[in-house]
Amino acid sequence: MQSSESSGESADDPLSRGLRRRGQPRVVVIGAGLAGLAATKALLEQGFTDVTVLEASSRIGGRVQSVKLGHATFELGATWIHGSHGNPIYHLAEANGLLEETTDGERSVGRISFYSKNGVACYLTDRGRRIPKDVVEEFSDLYNEVYTLTQEFFRHGKPVNAESRNSVGVFTREEVRNRIRDDPDDSEATKRLKLAMMQQYLKVESCESSSHSIDEVSLSAFGEWTEIPGAHHIIPSGFMRVVELLAEGIPAHVIQLGKPVRCIHWDQASPHPRGPEIQPREEGDHNHDTGEGSQSGESSQGCGWDEDEQWPVVVECEDCEVIPADHVIVTVSLGVLKRQYTSFFRPGLPMEKVAAIHRLGIGTTDKIFLEFEEPFWGPECNSLQFVWEDEAERLTLTYPPEQWYRKICGFDVLYPPERYGHVLSGWICGEEALVMERCDDEAVAEICTEMLRQFTGNPNIPKPRRILRSAWGSNPYFRGSYSYTQVGSSGADVEKLAKPLPYMESSKTAHRSSTKQQPGHLLSSKCPEQSLDLNRGSVKPMQVLFSGEATHRGYYSTTHGALLSGRREAARLAEMYRDLFRQGP
């Protein structure tokens, strides 16, 4: 079943007998984002036929969400294909003609902050004046030099000094400040202006890292994120087209929408769920938030099974349906894991995986789209960047709730106008983004209009005709935008997060080593009676697998990282069952 070596030794264990009767391993994939769809598609292509996808929300795509308004498509989630050389997202989009209408201005090289490389960024202060172009260029060159230094600690193994507190933000702020203050050619006024610009750049950095503050991002691990060479691309027809391509060939019955999961009962020792371990949730017992599409309270045992069979995993859904499985691939976000790991897994997770969940970071980066009747910005302007002059000496970029708008780093001009109309896209991150999410559209539009008037010095800017914005932080099925390596974490934590359960020497030696305690398995959990039974005849390997952008060491935070992580977990299972599929029915 797994290999000629291991299947012979496990021929009589009940797990193998059950699999022989069914003929196929049953795999449940939790989440229909890029990772879940990529895993499902790969499993089906490898010959798996008993695959079910459980998606909590009413749509597929996860953190890809394209919204069509009129003739234009706006991205509330993933926007860019980051790099082209070897990027599976790029090759999928290119092979299917999704980039044919992408303009040269939407193919940018280097770090991504703007929708178009055409035109210039207009840096404006809260006093309504534009910062001179030469000052902007001088500061940009200085900042980019320091940014390059932040990459070297990981890439070249440079030691991190205590003064930086292993923080990208602390290091960058101190290094940039020292260089500005030591410049003999600048006046004091220019120095203060550049110091204020630094704060704006750090806000942009926080948005790109999806952290509350760039101070929270690990300096020693910052350079581990791997950039794929080549240009970055926007998909004019919407990033959802990539999602739809991944979903092609997956039978409709495989994906169940509006199906939130309450708990994964893994390492099961009995033929079916026991007594009080799985029962309908009492009113008010919120193991985790349920949103639109939840069917909690409707009892259903629609997925029955032979009581003589042993299933290592049972997935308990919010609607009280229980689905037995041989393997479960978990693709939920790191934000969901942080909020729900104690109730989402029984028995509890191994301590090293819990520690990795705590150490790694995930924050919220939101977009605010404003559509205007006519542009009030010049044709050469590709963005309006907000620089608060009174923040030059500020040590932190955290604001009281009533000043959440100060975290908006600026607005990009969507390009080309022939496709989008006259639309600005604002960026905000961190706790202030969560405050923004709690405001209504009218309030956000009003505040953004006042900011635009203040920074441009034009009191006649009208309110936008329409507003569209994301809300990733408060969405119970995401709890954030994407992950980053937080101070105190490293790429090793990403690998610990990705490690399948139960912990075993390898899937090939699982049956032979099943009578030994597996290192790292948490035996003392809230459900000790469900922990590893060392006297049981067999331990099924890879019962719970983990996928999603946060589980890819080199490509975390990206769409290609999510896709590749899904394929990775599918490949684990394909390798495990290669002899089964080689033999055929």
Alpha-carbon distance 342 to 348, whole Å? 6
Check residue 92 and give left, alpha or beta (phi > 0: left; psi -120 to 50: alpha). Answer: alpha
535 contact partners, CB below 8 Å, separation of at least 6: none
Mean pLDDT of the chain: 85
* Amino acid occupying residue 536: R
Task: Give the model's pLDDT for residue 508.
Answer: 36
Lowest mean pLDDT among 5-14, 212-221, 449-458, 469-478: 5-14
Task: Give the model's pLDDT for residue 294.
Answer: 36
Length of the chain: 585
Task: Give the model's pLDDT for residue 334.
Answer: 98
Higher-pLDDT residue of 221 and 581 is 221
Q: State if pTM tops 0.75.
A: yes
Token readout for 310 is 């042993």
Asked if 377 and 124 touch (Cβ cutoff 8 Å), the reply is no
Average pLDDT in the 424-435 region? 98
Residue carrying structure tokens 């994407």: 482
Check pLDDT > 90 for residue 106. Answer: no
DSSP sequence for 284-334: T--SS---TT--TT-----S---TTS--SEEEEETTS-EEEESEEEE---H
Alpha-carbon distance 150 to 167, whole Å? 9
394 contact partners, CB below 8 Å, separation of at least 6: 199
Average pLDDT in the 109-137 region? 82
Average pLDDT in the 1-10 region? 36
List Cα–Cα distances, 379 to 119, 181, 383, 512, in angstroms. 8, 35, 11, 70
Per-range mean pLDDT, top range of 14-28, 158-172, 399-413 = 399-413
Would you tell me the crossing angle of helices 168-181 and 133-155 to the nearest 10 degrees?
130
Q: β-strand 232-234 against 80-81: which pairing, if any?
A: antiparallel
Of the candidates 24, 27, 23, the residue with the CA atom closest to the CA atom of residue 36: 27
Residue percentage of the chain with pLDDT more than 70: 81
Task: Give the model's pLDDT for residue 23.
Answer: 72
**pLDDT range class, residue 109, cuts 50, 70, 90:** low
Cβ–Cβ contacts within 10 Å for residue 198, how many? 23
Residue carrying structure tokens 């009962």: 265
Check pLDDT > 70 for residue 249. Answer: yes
Task: Give the model's pLDDT for residue 299.
Answer: 35
DSSP sequence for 119-160: SEEEEEETTS-BPPHHHHHHHHHHHHHHHHHHHHHHHT-PPP
Task: Give the model's pLDDT for residue 236.
Answer: 93
Task: Give the model's pLDDT for residue 76.
Answer: 98
Asked if 452 and 386 touch (Cβ cutoff 8 Å), the reply is no
Alpha-carbon distance 368 to 381, whole Å? 18
300 contact partners, CB below 8 Å, separation of at least 6: 319, 320, 321
Cβ–Cβ contacts within 10 Å for residue 219, how many? 25
**pLDDT range class, residue 280, cuts 50, 70, 90:** very low
Task: Give the model's pLDDT for residue 306.
Answer: 55
Of the candidates 173, 157, 155, the residue with the CA atom closest to the CA atom of residue 165: 173
How does pLDDT run across 7-42, given as a tens digit for each residue?
Answer: 333 444 444 545 545 578 999 999 999 999 999 999
Residue carrying structure tokens 């030469």: 134
**pLDDT range class, residue 378, cuts 50, 70, 90:** very high
Check pLDDT > 90 for residue 469. Answer: yes
Q: β-strand 466-469 against 261-265: which pairing, if any?
A: unpaired
How does pLDDT run across 300-353, given as a tens digit for each residue?
Answer: 334 445 555 789 999 999 999 999 999 999 999 999 999 999 999 999 999 999
Of the candidates 366, 368, 367, 365, the residue with the CA atom closest to the CA atom of residue 464: 368
Asked if 376 and 67 touch (Cβ cutoff 8 Å), the reply is no
DSSP sequence for 342-401: HHHEESPPPHHHHHHHHHSEEE-EEEEEEEESS--S-TTEEEEEEE-GGGTT-S-----G
Of the candidates 470, 364, 488, the residue with the CA atom closest to the CA atom of residue 425: 470
Alpha-carbon distance 118 to 140, whole Å? 17
Cis, peptide link before residue 347, omega less than 30° from 0: yes
Find the largest Cα–Cα distance for the chain: 83
